[in-house]
Structure 1
């Protein structure tokens, strides 16, 4: 697995708690939509959060992955289960506005936005 794939491939194992906690947070905007992260080289990674606390993703090289997500204070955290289980989680700020700046797990600056519907 490449570091760029890791951006979308981490979270906490307590998935049902994530779904309950998400009821009153900005993360609900992502349900049924696509979270698109754009890297400095112009490539994009795609993330689909589900209400049940799971996610699926495609890294910027279109490598598929999945796992669970949770909320930790003002951040959403991802933990990858497949294709390889990862022992740590990646946390990033919750959505704010139409698009926002963040850092990939690699430290690269990215721009994140939620696109209506399920893009591929």
Structure 2
């Protein structure tokens, strides 16, 4: 398994997601084009980054599910108050940030568990080799 996501890297990727979300929805609002959402672009970027650098499927699935849930909950709650473009931009950025936090935490838990299993296996092999 690859190393888990560092908090610095997660913060940088989240900042990039916020920038893409803000700029993308600013452009779509200026063009008054409600049918070119930026959310799939941010999601595709996150998936590409995940597959290239931090492939841990249980953590990735958890992050994707939580991120999607946050996005849809925020969109439903924010659109009546803030309008389509602002609500979508905020929901996209927040969902990406929460998704990255879940990914980082889940990878740390998985990495810690696999590391401790590997250590105990190495100790057991060493004890058998010393006893033989």
TM-score (norm 1): 0.29
- Larger radius of gyration, structure 1 or 2? 2
Q: Which has the higher contact order (CA 8 A, sep 6+)?
A: 2
Larger helix proportion of the pair: 2
